[in-house]
């Protein structure tokens, strides 16, 4: 190839011609974790492939790729002529310090109360970030902003600066404040809050669900909209030194056009949605798989008929952060199994320091190519924390699971999986060797788990279109129709009590009670009238006597 640049150019032009107009799209996820960037990255790549000019501020990329050039303090990684990655070392550092570990299972409320402070810290970092300043002052033009639905709201100031509509892409089941913002039913009678229980709730659970969705909890609508967002506004005007900034809630209310959620009704609890909510769950699936290292391949192939078990607690919970007692428990259960085990264990030297021996059927690796492992024909079981992406990957590949949820939406993901019959949910605090061993045996020997898993996997893949295609369609739709104002639910301008028609019920109550009161007074009056009449008649009779 003499002119790769020209070939690329022609390809790009062809893509643009075939796919309609190319647009400038700004994708903002400065605060992120792998469970979010794993959703965003394939989408960004796909948008760029379609010929759009994409600017992506995601910091996780920096871990995986070597920044190639710097513009001021801002690192630019240009993969192709129409994809620009912006990242800054400060945010990369912040994203790696998420302070979540296995002990957080003890107290979901501790995390909750930490949230306002954490978001304040994130926003301060974003507002001090050179990339953010560069964007704020740049004369660039964009057609749309796509924003991570969790903890990135501070960047909404950019939607105002560029005067564009925006879309939330949420990487886990939608929080009440996102549903409220887009004007979609909260469905609190059956849709559990991300830290809730399940869809079939008794009176007390429903009460708890309403309280957590509206007031407190990871979902706390009131806390989010009327405490956290105003705090962000104050941080913005303090750090940016401007006093006439538009409040975030205002920007959201005027410019939010669509909510895409990484869920699907085949595997998550059902959610009634407005037309402005699009479920794109599993969009990161079905792409090209990476080639596994040779030694790993021979370990997996060598597992034979017994097969192998994959153990990983996600990207945030480090395998080597597992408390010693649990580590010992897992190792002694694995030693009793004929299956081989692949375990995500980041720091090999931390294994050496403990007294127990690693059984010969266990292989620890620092980074798990999870999708690739799950797609291997010998994969029999996945032991995991029940993060949404892990759950999607295991269902996509039809591998039954044992979930040991720790925090956030993991408990409801695990509960739904157990209710659907293809997984077992275990509880860290009740975990014993026997419980874990029995659960593993149940999945490996009772065919009903594998059978249910095949059914659910088929359900998940039986869709009229692919989640990625759906996401792209709706993104371009919003651009084509300049924010798609016709999708806007009029009830977005109403307060929560009005949306729940509490004010109307009030009128009914007042009316009913007034009627009852009037009738009561009338009765009193009538009976007084009767008594008076009787008395008069009595008096008349006396007179006659």
Ligand X SMILES: *[C@@H]1O[C@H](CO)[C@@H](O)[C@H](O)[C@H]1NC(C)=O
In degrees and rounded to multiples of 5, residue 138 shows phi and psi of -80, 160
Question: Are the C-beta atoms of residues 374 and 312 closer than 8 Å to each other?
Answer: no
**Binding ligand X by CB under 6 A: which of 7, 21, 63, 72?**
72
Nearer Cβ to ligand X (57/361): 57
* SS3 call for 458: helix
Q: How far apart, in whole angstroms, are the C-alpha atoms of residue 443 and residue 438?
A: 9
CB of 64 to ligand X, least distance (A): 6
* SS3 call for 177: helix
Q: Please report, as residue ranges, which positions from 335 to 354 form the binding site for ligand X (by CB under 6 A).
A: 347, 349-350
| Total residues at interface with ligand X (CB under 6 A) | 20
Q: Which stretch binds ligand X (CB under 6 A): 72-80, 168-176, 299-307, 392-400?
A: 72-80
144-148 and 166-170 strand pairing: parallel
How crowded is residue 178: how many other Cβ atoms within 10 Å of its Cβ?
22
Nearer Cβ to ligand X (349/445): 349
CB of 161 to ligand X, least distance (A): 18
Q: How far apart, in whole angstroms, are the C-alpha atoms of residue 537 and residue 191?
A: 68
Q: Please report, as residue ranges, which positions from 37 to 56 form the binding site for ligand X (by CB under 6 A).
A: 41, 44-45
Nearest CA to 144 among 442, 399, 446, 482? 482
How far is C-alpha 180 from the geometric centre of its chain's CA atoms? 15
378 is a contact residue toward ligand X (CB under 6 A): no
274 is a contact residue toward ligand X (CB under 6 A): yes
Tokens 């798989």: give the residue.
289
Nearest CA to 265 among 489, 456, 477, 38? 456
Per-residue mark of binding to ligand X, 480-519 (x: CB under 6 A): ---------x-x-------x--------------------
Nearer Cβ to ligand X (114/350): 350
Question: Are the C-beta atoms of residues 221 and 296 closer than 8 Å to each other?
Answer: no
Nearer Cβ to ligand X (466/499): 499
CB of 119 to ligand X, least distance (A): 23
185 is a contact residue toward ligand X (CB under 6 A): yes
Nearer Cβ to ligand X (148/233): 148
Which residues contact residue 150 at a Cβ distance below 8 angstroms, ignoring those fewer than 6 apart?
36, 170, 171, 172, 175
Q: Please report, as residue ranges, which positions from 281 to 320 form the binding site for ligand X (by CB under 6 A).
A: none
Q: What is the H or E stretch that residue 56 is in?
A: strand 53-58
Nearer Cβ to ligand X (305/353): 353
CB of 272 to ligand X, least distance (A): 7
Q: Which stretch binds ligand X (CB under 6 A): 20-28, 180-188, 394-402, 503-511?
A: 180-188
**Binding ligand X by CB under 6 A: which of 21, 70, 73, 270?**
73
DSSP string, 348-375: THHHHTSSSPPPTTEEEESS--HHHHHT
CB of 81 to ligand X, least distance (A): 12
79 is a contact residue toward ligand X (CB under 6 A): yes
Nearer Cβ to ligand X (108/130): 130
183 is a contact residue toward ligand X (CB under 6 A): yes
In degrees and rounded to multiples of 5, residue 519 shows phi and psi of -65, -40
How crowded is residue 53: how many other Cβ atoms within 10 Å of its Cβ?
18
Q: How far apart, in whole angstroms, are the C-alpha atoms of residue 361 and residue 345?
A: 15
Q: Please report, as residue ranges, which positions from 126 to 155 form the binding site for ligand X (by CB under 6 A).
A: 130
Which positions lie near ligand X, rule CB under 6 A? 41, 44-45, 64-65, 72-73, 79, 83, 130, 183-185, 274, 347, 349-350, 489, 491, 499
């Amino acid at each position: 190839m003499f002119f790769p640049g020209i070939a690329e150019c022609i390809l790009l032009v062809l893509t643009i011609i075939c796919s309609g107009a190319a647009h400038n799209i700004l994708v903002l996820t400065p605060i992120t974790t792998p469970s979010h960037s794993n959703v965003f990255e394939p989408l960004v790549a796909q948008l760029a492939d379609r010929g759009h000019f994409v600017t992506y501020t995601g910091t996780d990329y920096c871990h995986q790729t070597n920044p190639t050039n710097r513009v001021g303090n801002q690192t630019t990684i240009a993969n192709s002529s129409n994809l620009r990655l912006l990242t800054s070392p400060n945010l990369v550092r912040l994203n790696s310090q998420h302070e979540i570990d296995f002990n957080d299972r003890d107290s979901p409320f501790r995390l909750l109360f930490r949230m306002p402070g954490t978001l304040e810290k994130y926003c301060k970092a974003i507002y001090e970030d050179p990339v953010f300043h560069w964007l704020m002052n740049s004369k660039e033009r964009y057609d749309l902003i796509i924003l991570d639905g969790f903890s990135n709201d501070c960047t909404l100031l950019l939607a105002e600066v560029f005067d564009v509509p925006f879309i939330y892409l949420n990487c886990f089941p939608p929080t009440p404040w996102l549903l409220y913002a887009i004007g979609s039913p909260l469905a609190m009678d059956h849709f559990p809050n991300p830290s809730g229980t399940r869809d079939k709730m008794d009176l007390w659970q429903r009460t708890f669900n309403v309280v957590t969705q509206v007031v407190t909890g990871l979902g706390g609508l009131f806390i989010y909209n009327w405490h956290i967002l105003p705090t962000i506004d104050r941080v913005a005007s303090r750090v940016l030194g401007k006093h006439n900034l538009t409040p975030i809630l205002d920007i959201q209310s005027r410019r939010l056009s669509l909510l895409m959620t990484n869920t699907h009704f085949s595997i998550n609890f059902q959610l009634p949605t407005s037309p402005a909510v699009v479920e794109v769950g599993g969009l990161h699936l079905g792409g090209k798989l990476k080639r596994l290292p040779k030694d790993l391949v021979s370990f997996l192939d060598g597992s034979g008929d017994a097969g192998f078990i994959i153990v990983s607690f996600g990207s945030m919970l480090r395998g080597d952060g597992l408390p010693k007692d649990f580590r010992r428990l897992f190792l002694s259960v694995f030693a009793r199994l004929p299956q081989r085990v692949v375990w995500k264990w980041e720091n090999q030297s931390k294994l050496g320091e403990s007294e127990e021996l690693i059984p010969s059927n266990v292989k620890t690796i620092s980074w798990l190519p999870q999708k690739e492992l799950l797609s291997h024909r010998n994969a029999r079981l996945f032991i995991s924390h029940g993060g949404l992406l892990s759950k999607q990957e295991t269902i996509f590949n039809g591998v039954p699971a044992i979930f040991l949820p720790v925090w956030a939406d993991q408990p409801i993901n695990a509960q739904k999986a157990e209710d659907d019959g293809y997984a077992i949910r275990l509880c860290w605090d009740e975990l014993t060797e026997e419980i874990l061993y029995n659960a593993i045996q149940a999945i490996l020997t009772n065919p009903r788990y594998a059978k249910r898993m095949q059914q659910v996997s088929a359900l998940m893949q039986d869709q009229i279109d692919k989640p990625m295609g759906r996401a792209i369609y709706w993104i371009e739709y919003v651009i084509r129709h300049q924010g798609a104002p016709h999708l806007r639910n009029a009830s977005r301008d109403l307060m929560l009590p009005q949306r729940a028609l509490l004010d109307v019920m009030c009128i009914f109550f007042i009316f009913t009670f007034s009627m009852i009161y009037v009738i009561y007074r009338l009765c009193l009056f009538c009976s007084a009238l009767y008594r008076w009449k009787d008395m008069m008649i009595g008096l008349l009779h006396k007179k006659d006597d």
